[in-house]
């Protein structure tokens, strides 16, 4: 398998964490996503992934998979141990709820193509930073409330890390980098503190942008 990714990408970080939890070591190709020469917008990469986003995973059979959650579910079905979704039906639904609350409702408001476009239409750098903080704050406050209502164990959805924790961890790291201390969300802070103890998480978070 081969992973196309950028070390700063939180969506790619999700897949790196999933691979590490499964004990899978795959070839990695760096696809830089920042600046005017970003490789993800070049025709060679768009041939692979028409969305021009990382991550993408080339399987051993030569199939190119995109979208981090689809890749994680593929890995989980293909390499079932340890499972990345809980065994209990309701917990499984909750893990997906939190994963999507982050991957579908917070993260899409923040990547370079969004912030670069805000800059292009004249939004000032400090206002773009506030845009990012705003959507992270709104999103993680809702996740904290979801945890208050439904958290069933030490992690988001049970006593083992799941796809939900895999989505939460990189988003939480980026929240801190954006100037939002996690202690305003005590349940998230507690889960993330536990995740930091797990090398698969600690070693595969998103790198800082510079």
Positions that interact with ligand GSH (CB under 6 A): 9-11, 33, 40, 53-55, 67-69, 103, 111-113
Min dist CB 197 to ligand GSH, Å, is 24
Min dist CB 53 to ligand GSH, Å, is 4
Min dist CB 190 to ligand GSH, Å, is 25
Helices (H), 50-107: 68-78, 89-103
Residue that has been written with the tokens 């797990």 in this structure: 198
Cα R_g (the chain), whole angstroms: 17
* Residue closest to 175 by CA, chosen among 204, 145, 205: 205
Residue that has been written with the tokens 């579910």 in this structure: 73
Copy the structure tokens of residue 58: 């080339």
CB 149 within 8 A of CB 143: no
In angstroms, the Cα distances linking 20 to 25, 76, 102, 202 are 7, 12, 21, 10
Min dist CB 75 to ligand GSH, Å, is 13
Min dist CB 205 to ligand GSH, Å, is 12
What is the spatial distance between Cα 139 and Cα 53, in angstroms, rounded to a whole number?
Answer: 22
Q: Which is nearer to ligand GSH, 83 or 112 (CB)?
A: 112
Alpha carbon dihedral 3, 21, 24, 30, in 10-degree steps, equals 20
Q: Which is nearer to ligand GSH, 53 or 151 (CB)?
A: 53
Q: Which is nearer to ligand GSH, 51 or 184 (CB)?
A: 51
Q: Which is nearer to ligand GSH, 29 or 152 (CB)?
A: 29
């Amino acid at each position: 398998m081969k992973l196309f990714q950028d070390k700063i990408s939180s969506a790619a970080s999700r897949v790196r964490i999933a691979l590490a939890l499964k004990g899978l070591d795959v070839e990695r190709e760096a696809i830089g996503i920042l600046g005017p020469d970003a490789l993800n917008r070049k025709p060679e990469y768009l041939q692979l992934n028409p969305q021009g986003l990382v991550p993408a995973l080339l399987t051993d059979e030569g199939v190119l998979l995109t979208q981090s959650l689809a890749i994680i579910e593929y890995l989980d079905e293909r390499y079932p141990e340890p499972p990345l979704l809980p065994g209990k039906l309701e917990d499984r639904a909750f893990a997906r709820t939190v994963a999507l609350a982050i991957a579908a409702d917070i993260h899409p408001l923040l990547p370079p193509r969004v912030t670069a476009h805000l800059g292009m239409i004249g939004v000032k750098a400090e206002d773009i930073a506030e845009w990012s903080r705003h959507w992270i704050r709104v999103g993680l406050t809702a996740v904290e409330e979801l945890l208050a209502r439904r958290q069933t164990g030490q992690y988001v959805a049970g006593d083992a890390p799941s796809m939900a924790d895999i989505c939460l961890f990189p988003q939480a790291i980026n929240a801190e980098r954006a100037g939002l201390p996690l202690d305003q969300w005590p349940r998230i802070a507690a889960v993330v503190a536990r995740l930091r103890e797990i090398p698969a998480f600690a070693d595969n978070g998103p790198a800082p942008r510079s």
